[in-house]
């Protein structure tokens, strides 16, 4: 097709016909007449996830207490088995990954385990663009150790308010840093940090380093073991479609197996020792040691079905389509919306761009409300950000084209002015 035709619906339909992942859209409950572009906040429900949720409800109904050891998915081993299934998505060995807790709970666990201030090394290095809850957790961990967070939490600055420079991060890896916690993909701008490089630089200075994978897991490939990352943690309800409030996950490098969990609990135990009921913990000999409480079985259940889709689709294929979708979205925005003051603030290079596009406009809250009125589901981020995430497993190129046309009408006709320019309770 000619370049001019690239901006017509027929071109998008042609891309959809060539899409090797197109059949997976049928696996999801996609609301007719609506275009869902918020999968980076909460992924859609798949029919397989629904089925496995019902399956575990049935195991409760049919087995009662024996569901812990009987049935297709015995609950006692469910976190470990899901960890094995999820491990390829983060580039870890099966023993290095466990599905447990939540993002913040797992961060507390890992910081409690790896943050061991001693001598001059008392500070934690993070960044000023990180998701707020990570910063809340880091500050509270410092306070629990008796340190003033205003002095002992170092937040690397951003020169543009949207992205981070890895050189700036490395420059802050000084002799007083005991631990580094960074996002793999910045939640706002979608920038991918060079985890391999940052890990190597941290280890040159004998500093532990871990990453928050919430906005990258299920969206981009990882090689955590190969990169020698010390630990990582994430939620499973965004790109992995594990369900609202679903159980999170964590990775601990096998070189740290045997390290006592900072926050020990009932499920930290080695499986064969757990019901000895001894008051001295015998920790699991793998990432299972970093569990705490009893698994939330019904919140784990949807992930069984969801991860089977990822195994079939293949992470490399998902990433390839995601890049095409976001590139197409950016091309259309630049062609159709250049006169309306919408600015693309995410990195444009493939190797630096995650699974969503980040636009800025002074009327962003209003624009998001206008989009929702037109049944386009975006994500607003205060003060003036619009996140759009076309997801490879269930969004189409035609949907991307249609969304831009609707956004153009909203801007051209100033439809957004009927709404207040302020966020809702949940943005």
pLDDT per position as a tens digit, 112-136:
999 999 999 999 999 999 999 999 9
Rounded to two decimals, the pTM is 0.97
> Rounded to whole angstroms, what are the CA distances from 27 to 49, 312, 397?
9, 12, 17
Instruction: Please enumerate in sequence order all residues whose Cβ is within 8 A of that of 421, keeping only pairs 6 or more positions apart, or say none.
Output: 362, 363, 364, 365, 366
Helix (H) or strand (E) holding 359: strand 357-360
Rounded to an integer, what is the distance from CA 133 to the centroid of its chain?
Answer: 14
Strand pairing class (231-234; 177-183): unpaired
Per-residue pLDDT of 87-117, as tens digits, reads 999 999 999 999 999 999 999 999 999 999 9
- pLDDT confidence of residue 426: 74
User: pLDDT at residue 427 above 90?
Assistant: no
Per-residue pLDDT of 24-83, as tens digits, reads 999 999 999 999 999 999 999 999 999 999 999 999 999 999 999 999 999 999 999 999
Q: How much is the average pLDDT of 415-425?
A: 87
Contact 191, 166 (CB under 8 A): no
Helix (H) or strand (E) holding 328: helix 315-336
Q: Domain 70-312 is of which CATH architecture? A: 3-Layer(aba) Sandwich (3.40)
Tell me the domain boundaries of the chain.
Answer: 4-30+314-418, 70-312
Q: Do domains 4-30+314-418 and 70-312 have the same CATH topology?
A: no
How far apart are alpha carbons 43 and 240 in whole angstroms? 7
How far apart are alpha carbons 99 and 82 in whole angstroms? 6
* Positions at the binding site for pyridoxal 5'-phosphate: 103-104, 131-134, 212, 215, 237, 266, 294
> pLDDT band at residue 1, thresholds of 50, 70 and 90?
very low
Q: How much is the average pLDDT of 125-152?
A: 98
Instruction: Choose among 113, 242, 239: nearest CA to 181.
Output: 113
Q: Is 259 helix (H, G, I), strand (E, B) or coil?
A: coil
User: How far is the first Cα of the chain from the last one, in angstroms, to the nearest whole number?
Assistant: 39
Exposure b/e, 12-22, CB count within 10 A at least 16 = b: bebbbeebebb
- pLDDT confidence of residue 356: 98
How far apart are alpha carbons 417 and 415 in whole angstroms? 5
Computed over every residue of the chain, the mean pLDDT equals 97
Q: What is the dihedral of CA 68, 70, 72, 74, to 10 degrees?
A: 20
Instruction: Choose among 166, 204, 253, 218: nearest CA to 356.
Output: 218
Phi, psi of 218 (to 5 degrees): 85, -5
Of the chain, the percentage scoring pLDDT greater than 90 comes to: 97
* Positions at the binding site: 103-104, 131-134, 212, 215, 237, 266, 294
> pLDDT band at residue 221, thresholds of 50, 70 and 90?
very high
How far apart are alpha carbons 373 and 376 in whole angstroms? 7
Q: Is 51 helix (H, G, I), strand (E, B) or coil?
A: helix
Per-residue pLDDT of 234-269, as tens digits, reads 999 999 999 999 999 999 999 999 999 999 999 999
Rounded to an integer, what is the distance from CA 148 to the centroid of its chain?
Answer: 29
How far apart are alpha carbons 303 and 297 in whole angstroms? 10
Extract the tokens encoding 184.
């793999």
How far apart are alpha carbons 203 and 224 in whole angstroms? 14
The third-level CATH classification (topology) of the domain covering 4-30+314-418 is: 3.90.1150
Extract the tokens encoding 388.
């759009």
Per-residue pLDDT of 299-335, as tens digits, reads 999 999 999 999 999 999 999 999 999 999 999 999 9
Q: Which residue has the tokens 């006169």?
A: 339
- pLDDT confidence of residue 3: 54
How far apart are alpha carbons 165 and 341 in whole angstroms? 26
Helix (H) or strand (E) holding 408: helix 397-412
């Amino acid at each position: 097709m000619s370049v001019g035709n690239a901006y017509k619906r027929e071109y998008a339909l042609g891309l959809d016909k060539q899409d090797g992942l197109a059949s997976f859209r049928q696996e999801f409950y996609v609301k007719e007449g609506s275009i869902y572009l918020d999968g980076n906040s909460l992924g859609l429900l798949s029919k397989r996830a629904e089925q496995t949720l019902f399956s575990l409800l049935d195991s409760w109904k049919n087995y009662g207490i024996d569901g812990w050891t009987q049935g297709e998915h015995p609950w006692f081993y469910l976190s470990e088995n899901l960890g094995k299934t999820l491990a390829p998505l983060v580039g870890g060995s099966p023993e290095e990954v466990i599905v447990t807790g939540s993002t913040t709970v797992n961060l507390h666990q890992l910081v409690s385990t790896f943050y061991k201030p001693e001598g001059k090394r008392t500070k934690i290095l993070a960044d000023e663009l990180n998701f707020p809850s990570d910063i809340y957790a880091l500050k509270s961990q410092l306070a629990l150790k008796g340190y003033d967070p205003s002095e002992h939490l170092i937040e690397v600055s951003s020169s543009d308010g949207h992205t981070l420079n890895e050189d700036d991060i490395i420059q802050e890896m000084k002799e007083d840093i005991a631990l580094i916690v960074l996002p793999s993909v910045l939640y706002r701008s979608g920038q991918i940090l060079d985890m391999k490089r940052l890990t190597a630089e941290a280890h040159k200075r004998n500093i532990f380093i871990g990453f928050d994978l919430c906005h990258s897991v299920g969206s981009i490939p990882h090689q955590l073991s190969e990169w020698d990352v010390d630990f990582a943690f994430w939620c499973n309800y965004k790109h992995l479609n594990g369900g609202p409030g679903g159980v999170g996950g964590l990775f601990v490098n096998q070189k740290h197996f045997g390290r006592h969990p900072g926050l020990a609990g009932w499920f930290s135990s080695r499986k064969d020792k757990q019901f000895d009921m001894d008051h001295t913990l015998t920790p699991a000999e793998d990432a299972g040691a970093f569990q705490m409480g009893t698994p939330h079985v019904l919140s784990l259940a949807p992930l069984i079905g969801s991860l089977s889709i990822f195994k079939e689709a293949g992470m490399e294929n998902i990433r390839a389509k995601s890049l095409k979708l976001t590139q197409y979205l950016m091309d259309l925005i630049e062609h159709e919306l250049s006169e309306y003051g919408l600015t693309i603030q995410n990195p444009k290079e493939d190797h630096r761009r995650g699974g969503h596009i980040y636009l800025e406009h002074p009327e962003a809250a209003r624009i998001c409300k206008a989009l929702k009125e037109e049944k386009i589901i975006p994500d607003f981020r205060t003060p003036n950000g619009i996140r759009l995430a076309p997801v490879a497993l269930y969004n189409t190129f035609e949907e991307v084209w249609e969304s831009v046309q609707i956004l153009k009408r909203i801007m051209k006709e100033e439809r957004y002015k009927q709404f207040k320019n302020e966020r809702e309770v949940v943005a």
